[in-house]
Amino acid sequence: MRVKKGFTLVELLVVVLILGALAAIAIPRISQSAETAKINACKTNVDLINSQIELYYANKGEWPKKLDDIVDDEDYFPDGPPKCPVDEDTAYSYDDKKHRVDEHDHSK
């Protein structure tokens, strides 16, 4: 007598449904985590730029007139100016009255 081994169609269907349910739960969480990481990276860029503005002031005794004075200077950003990971087309803006770069509004 020969015994057939394998899965029935119902067993395969149950496995596919379980995997589909897990994917429906996991994929939105992963994409949300990626977006949160990009927003946090942007905030870190703002903090880094503001630190370099302070360093510029400590080194030269005056505040930079514009943001390009800092971000284009290889002494402050040897790898080039930081870009917003959320929206690379949006440039950081410098407030020359507060001598700070403000965070972007990422609520879109």
- For 48-97, write each residue's pLDDT tens digit: 999 999 999 999 999 999 999 888 888 889 988 888 888 888 888 898 89
Return the sign of the alpha-carbon dihedral for residues 63, 66, 68, 69: negative
Whether residue 20 lies inside any domain: the answer is: yes
Whether residue 4 lies inside any domain: the answer is: no
Whether residue 8 lies inside any domain: the answer is: no
pLDDT of residue 89: 81
Whether residue 54 lies inside any domain: the answer is: yes
Domain containing 63 equals 13-101
Whether residue 80 lies inside any domain: the answer is: yes
10, pLDDT greater than 70: yes
- pTM for the full predicted model: 0.70
Whether residue 81 lies inside any domain: the answer is: yes
Nearest to 66 by CA among 99, 34, 88, 33: 99
Whether residue 107 lies inside any domain: the answer is: no
Whether residue 6 lies inside any domain: the answer is: no
pLDDT of residue 108: 57
How many domains is the chain partitioned into structurally? 1
